[in-house]
Amino acid sequence: MADLAVLTEDYLTVPVERIGGIRSLLTMVGGRTVYGEGPYAGLDGN
């Protein structure tokens, strides 16, 4: 099981001034999807 997040941009390469605008599209905790947005909407069980 892995905790992971699919982000809208790569925070390692995006310009510093855009880091604050990065959003999570998918968040998994303990192997379960706890948040989904956009193409991942509905995967969070809500």
- Where the chain has pLDDT below 70, the residues are 1, 45-46
Q: Is residue 46 part of a domain?
A: no
Domain membership flag for residue 23: yes
Residue 33 covered by a domain: yes
Domain count across the chain: 1
17 lies in a domain?
A: yes
Positive/negative CA dihedral, 12, 32, 2, 39: negative
Cβ 44 vs Cβ 25: under 8 Å? no
Q: Considering the domain boundaries, does residue 45 fall inside one?
A: no
What's the pTM value of the predicted model, to 2 decimals? 0.76
Which residue range is the domain that position 20 belongs to?
4-40
Structural domain contains residue 32: yes
